[in-house]
Structures are given as C-alpha cells and as structure tokens.
Structure 1
Amino acid sequence: MAIYALWVINKAGGLVYQRNFTADGLAPLSSNDALVLAGTLHGIHAITAKLSPTGSSSGCQVIEAETFKLHILLTATGTKFVLLTSPAELQAQADSVLRRVYEAYADGVMKNPFQTPEMPIRSEGFDARVGAIVKPA
C-alpha cells in the first residue's frame, strides 16, 4: 500500500492543503503546478457530475492511470479530499483514509477560530494527525 500525496481542494477549486508522503512515488511538483492540477481536477470533477445518464451524480470518485490512482472524497460543503496512491491501492482502504482525514479536518481545522474558511490550511495539529493516519511509506 503506497500513498503518494494528499490534497485538499476548496469549493472554488483552489488547493488549500498539499502533503507528499513518498519521495520516490511522484515527480516533484512546483507550487504553481500543484495549483493548476488542483484547479483542473476540480473542473473534471464538476464535468463528471453533469455527465450522469441518471441525472444525479456527485462526480468521479476514482481516476485510474498506469502509475497511480486518484481517490476523491467530496464533502457536503464542496471541499474535496484527494488521495494519490499506487495503482494497486484498494478503494476501501483509500476511502477509510480519506474519511479519517476528513474527521481530522473537521476537528482540527474547522473548529479552529483562527482558520478562515476556503483559505490555505496551516495547522501543525492537522499535519500531525494526517501523518499519523497515513504513516508514510
């Protein structure tokens, strides 16, 4: 099980949190590249929500490539939690990690009176909880 990175994307498509977990899993991204990719993923997610033949969809939940998978958890407020993993990662394991990270976000970030909604997350407590949840490879 390899988890490469975690992104938190606000409801407007801005990258508000980024953390890499392995040095060998992904090519390093500049801050600007990460922002562009987060905005692009936000757009793809919005488009896939509109493509459902049944008329009701929350958008894509997994995007698979040859060398990685993107697992996406969309919250009720529109915030997206994105986990970049190895292609062999099971959906259930990724979902569990994303839900635990979301709980840490709700407890450690959203309850912080000094955190401005939709702005970059700079919380040592949240970082520590994410590190404990993911346990870098």
Structure 2
Amino acid sequence: MGVLSIFILSKAGGLIYHKDFGFGLKKLNNSNDYLVIAGTFHSVHALTTRVNPLNTHSSGLLTMEMETCTLHCLQTLTGLKFVVVTDNNQSNVSVVSSTIYEIYSDYVMKNPFYTLDMPIRCHKFDRALNQYISTVE
C-alpha cells in the first residue's frame, strides 16, 4: 500500500486530523504521541522556512525521507499542512496530496457544522478519504 498515514495540522501546528491506512506502519501507544509528532513537524517546518541562505521565500519542509517511509507536506495558502506518510516507492505524491486537499475542501470546509482549526469529525470526509486512498497505488 502506498499511503500509510495522513496528518492534517492547523496553521498553529495543532493536530486536527489523523488516520492510519497502512499495516506496515507501527502504531503509537497513545494519542499524545501523535500530538508530539504534529508539533515537532510544525516546528521543523517553521524553522526550514526561516533557514534560507537567500532572501527568497521558502515554502519550508517539503519531504522527509526515512529508511522505510517518506513524509510529504503540502501547505495551503491558509497555513494548513497536509502531511502524507507513504512508502518510499510511492509516486505522484503531489497529486495524492492535492486530491486529499480537494476532498477536505469538499467535505470539511463546506460542512456548516465545522469550526476552523478544530478536530475534524466528519463521517463523509472519512468515507471519501478511505475510498480515495483505496484507489491509490
């Protein structure tokens, strides 16, 4: 399976959504570990936007590759971060990230009961995301 996990971080770095898809990914013991990962990723992303040798705009951390998986980050114009954890053989991750963002826009942002930067609890979003991820190879 290509996509192992998805994290959605608010512009302040809070974890507003997390879902594991892959069986190859080790499960963490509690939800606080996921919050620590989100906060750490947000901090590293913020540092990489500022540590730039030139006076140009940097989009920050885009990918982080490990031995068994890779983290890919898509940051929206509003500061939301979509972190997609894939195996190292996954291709077209930018298309996958963009499609996840479209699903988020369709099912979360158009939900009148959703409040920005709050945890996402939307069953239609979960279903659409699961359906899409099952087609990704």
Q: Which runs of 5+ in 1 are unaligned?
A: none
Q: Determine the structure 1 residue equivalent to 2:15.
A: 15
Where structure 2 has 5 or more consecutive residues not aligned to the other structure, the ranges are none
Is residue 61 of structure 1 aligned with residue 56 of structure 2?
A: no
Number of the residue aligned with 1:70: 71
Aligned mates of 1:118, 1:126 — CA distance in 2: 16
CA offsets 1:32-77 (integer angstroms, 9 cap, x no match): 1000000000000000011122231010111111111000000000
Q: Does 1:110 align with 2:109?
A: yes
Aligned with 1:89: secondary structure? coil
| 1:87-133 Cα deviation digits (max 9, x unpaired) | 1223xx11111101101111110111110100000001111111121
What count of residue pairs does the alignment treat as equivalent?
Answer: 134
**1:2 aligned partner, one-letter code:** G
Counterparts of 2:54 and 2:105 in 1: how far apart (Å)? 31
TM norm structure 2: 0.93
The answer on whether the counterparts of 1:104 and 1:130 sit within 8 Å (CA) in structure 2 is yes
User: How many Å separate the matches in 2 of 1:133 and 1:53?
Assistant: 39
Q: Distance in 1 between matches of 2:62 and 2:123?
A: 28
**TM-score under structure 1 length normalisation:** 0.93
Asked if the contact 1:97–1:133 (Cα under 8 Å) also holds between the matched residues in 2, the reply is no
List structure 1 segments (4+ residues) > 6 angstroms apart after TM superposition: none
Q: Secondary structure at the match of 2:43?
A: helix
Deviation string, structure 1 residues 5-51 (Cα, Å, up to 9, x no partner): 0110001111101110022x211012110000000000000000111
SS of the residue 2:4 aligns to: strand
